[in-house]
Amino acid sequence: MKQEELWKLLGEMTLEEKAGQLIQLDGRLILGRGDRQTGPETENRPDLLPGSVLNFDSAEMARELQSRHLSEDRLKIPLLLMLDVIHGHRTTYPIPLAMGCSFDEGLMEECGKMAAREAAACGVHVTFAPMMDTARDPRWGRIMETCSEDPLVNGRMGAALVRGMQGEDLRAGDRVACCVKHFAAYGAGEAGRDYNRVDLPENTLREQYLPAYRACLEAGARMVMTSFNTLNGVPAVASTFLRRVLREEWGFDGVIISDYNAIGELMNHGVAEDEDDCACLAMGAECDVDMMSLVYARLPDLVRSGKIPEAALDAAVMRVLRLKQELGLFENPWHGADPETEKRVYLCEAHRETARRAAEESAVLLKNEGILPLPGNPGKVALIGPFATDAHLNGAWSRPGAEEDTVTLPEGIRQVMPGVELRTARGCSAEWNVDPSGIAEAVELARQSDWVILTLGEAEWLSGEGRSRTELSFPGAQMQLFREILAVNPRTVVVLFHGRPLVLTEISRTAPAILDMWFPGQQAGPAMARLLWGHANPCGKLSVSLPWTLGQVPLSHNRLNTGRPKPQPDTGVFPFTSSYLDAPNLPLYSFGNGLSYTEFVYESLETDREVFSDTEGLTVRIRVRNAGERPGKEVVQLYVRDLVARVARPVQQILDYRKILLQPGETQEVVFRVEEKQLRFWDAEGNFLSESGDFEFSTGWADHLLHTKRVQMTKREAV
């Protein structure tokens, strides 16, 4: 359908039909299969004909929804079908926070492609992904949905997902459009409590929170979802400031959708009196689609009474129609929905293989005192802990029943190491239950075994939406299990499964080896076994800092120095420094950290000049050698510090990175181009600019910077 035809169509629509295009309802509810909603319970409204639907389970359901809709819609405008496809659809791959640790955009793109193939076959047109909320507070259960504490890493991984999911042509039956969320700054909720207020000064917002969303829009994401939180007092869904950023500054002309029921919640925030007020505020902030609050059912009356200009309604409807047109729905309302394709692509071998690779590449080896990889003939192996036989290894946004397709840890070990003498014991749970009654049996098993693989973490349902915690501890009796197992068998490898950073201080002190797998998805078993036995070499790096103690959060590597930085090393002579009496300032494991079974030596960091101008930029070369005996992948990281600027700059900030494969003995030179615009910051007058002066470039990882080199930037013209 051409643009003129869309205008013609709009001209034929009644106010009710226009409002319908802006209303999103639950597909399961419409079909009377409303067993699982993702927000507050809502009654079905058969009197409304929505323009879009979220939540449905199969191609069959998608087709039923669409054909029913087309038979009821006078103008035959197809329904837009949306679903959360956050880390895989039928085949699940690691949670986004784990994917961030892979630092592998190619892999993320591949994962996006496979998720889109499966989701499109199920009938999805647009998915509510990627989630690009910078998050630095692990109390917030949704930290699992973001890729990183850092906006650069987050944005690059998100953009890769968008490329993978959307491809070149949204009409293709194996592609879905992306909706970037949650705009904006949802990850900065006060005290890590979900849906809580966010108060951010504009420079922090602009530098640390907004760039990741923007990176996804630049990659072509078609839709934006507003966030639940207030931002500096104004709920994001009603924020004209955020609308201005999106529409005017960034030129985004796609559809904006509210989060679940968020327009109706304007009354709870205390900024709207009644539903009419909610609708006016949200429309005033150009929120085009109302997800599940039904407040936009009031739009026709509000237009009739002159409270909302019809032109505003028309503009929103046109954005929705244009998206439907781009997806080719007017010509083919089924898009990719096909039960036969579903059967063919769901869990196909290629997808399982990609998911396994993703699980391997995102695992982070945090500690290894020479006991990993395990020997080929390990004797008796005990697999112990809450996840030893559990299939809930997917993470919060996997569909219900995903565990049926999960390859569990014992199954994985048997696949990879068929001859191994393996026994299992659960010991205790990873939930609140502190029942230690299974520990004795597990300890006995550990005593009789040559090796112990001890799985610890946090049950799958303890992270995700509405899952904030005030502790970052290992729930239940797990620490008791850990201590008792370690006491009888020092050849214990700890493998972690969790959605948020947990405090590992005690475990890291005594366990000889720690492999962090987050929630790795359905291929958890084979991925873990291959990593532990060295069939795969760990290469993940932390995309988020792991705190030393809860009291340090929120935490991120790009902190400011303060006026009284803590001396390194700390002599303790002068007490009035920015520090804690009872804990270090630094995290236990810093951003960018992660070990390998081989050894990488950073030989040098060189720049092509000592002084560079803002127009010519700088080239930085980092030489890395694989000094070990195995091939391995390394994430070469470039950090910068702007030594003097009128707005205080971070002591370290990741500027770029590249993941490389090195054969034993091989040396590679990684070349980074640095441009002036990468060095800009938000100044007190509201401009993004850089200042001339000295910059330090380093490699290594956060808090372990190597080969620091100071270079001067000069400016041709003052900005």
Catalytically active residues are 259
Query: Smaller CB distance to ligand BGC: residue 96 or 328?
Result: 96
What per-residue string of b and e applies to 550-584 under the rule 16 or more CB within 10 Å gives b?
bebbbbbbbbeeeeeebeeeeeeeeeeeebeeeee
Which amino acid does the sequence have at 673?
A: R
What is the nearest approach in angstroms of ligand BGC to the Cβ of residue 33?
Answer: 16
Q: Supply the minimum distance, in Å, between the C-beta of residue 356 and ligand BGC.
A: 27
In the bound complex, what is the minimum distance in angstroms from residue 132's beta carbon to ligand BGC? Answer: 11
Instruction: Kindly state the tokens that stand for 268.
Output: 């709870």
Give start and end residues of each alpha helix (H) in 103-150.
Answer: 105-122
Spatial separation of the C-alpha atoms in residues 597 and 311, rounded to whole Å = 62
Q: What is the largest CA-CA distance in the chain?
A: 80
Nearest residue relative to ligand BGC (C-beta): 128
Instruction: DSSP letter for 123, please.
Output: T
Question: Any bridge partners for residue 452, and if so which?
Answer: 382, 492
Give the Cα-Cα-Cα angle 684, 687, 690 (nearest 5 degrees).
95
d(Cα 605, Cα 625) in Å, to the nearest integer? Answer: 13
In this complex, which beta carbon is closest to ligand BGC, that of residue 128 or of residue 474? 128
CB 556 within 8 A of CB 653: no
DSSP string for 248-280: IIS---SEEE--TTTTTTHHHHTS-SSHHHHHH
- Of residues 182 and 214, the one with the C-beta less far from ligand BGC: 182
Extract the tokens encoding 323.
Answer: 């998206």
Closest distance between ligand BGC and the C-beta of residue 155, in Å? 18
Q: Return d(Cα 291, Cα 228) in angstroms, integer.
A: 12
- In angstroms, what is the minimal distance from the CB of 364 to ligand BGC? 26
- What are φ and ψ of residue 18, in 5° steps? -65, -50
Q: Which two tokens stand for residue 288?
A: 């085009």
Q: Closest separation between CB of residue 654 and ligand BGC, Å?
A: 26
> DSSP E strands: which ranges in 50-167?
52-54, 80-83, 126-127
The CB-of-570 to ligand BGC minimum distance in angstroms stands at 42
CB atoms within 10 A of CB 46: 9
d(CA 676, CA 661): 29
Nearer to ligand BGC, 84 or 342 (CB): 84
Residue 61's φ and ψ, nearest 5 degrees, are: -65, -40
Query: At its nearest, how many Å lie between ligand BGC and the CB of residue 466?
Result: 8
Q: Give 259 or 342: the residue with its C-beta nearer to ligand BGC.
A: 259
Phi-psi region of 525 (alpha: psi -120 to 50; beta: other; left: phi over 0): alpha
Instruction: List residues binding ligand BGC (CB under 6 A).
Output: 38-39, 54, 84, 128, 181, 259-260, 465
Query: E strands along 9-84, which residues?
Result: 23-26, 52-54, 80-83
Q: Reduce the secondary structure of 169-200 to three states and give it as a string.
A: CCCCCCCCEEEEEEECCHHHCHHHCCCCCECC
Which lies closer to ligand BGC via its Cβ, residue 266 or residue 388? 266
Q: Specify whether the CB–CB gap between 454 and 415 falls below 8 A.
A: no
Amino acid identity for residue 688 in this structure = F
Nearer to ligand BGC, 93 or 128 (CB): 128
612 forms beta bridges with 713
Phi then psi dihedrals of residue 680, to 5 deg: -80, 155
Work out how close the CB of 245 gets to ligand BGC at its nearest, in angstroms, rounded to a whole number.
20
Taking only Cα atoms into account, the Rg of the chain, rounded to an integer number of angstroms, comes to 26
Closest approach of ligand BGC to the CB of residue 52, in Å:
12
Q: Return the number of the residue (352 or 469) whose C-beta is nearest ligand BGC.
A: 469
Nearer to ligand BGC, 39 or 385 (CB): 39
Number of helices (H), then strands (E), in the chain: 21, 26
Judged by CB, which is closer to ligand BGC: 338, or 465? Answer: 465
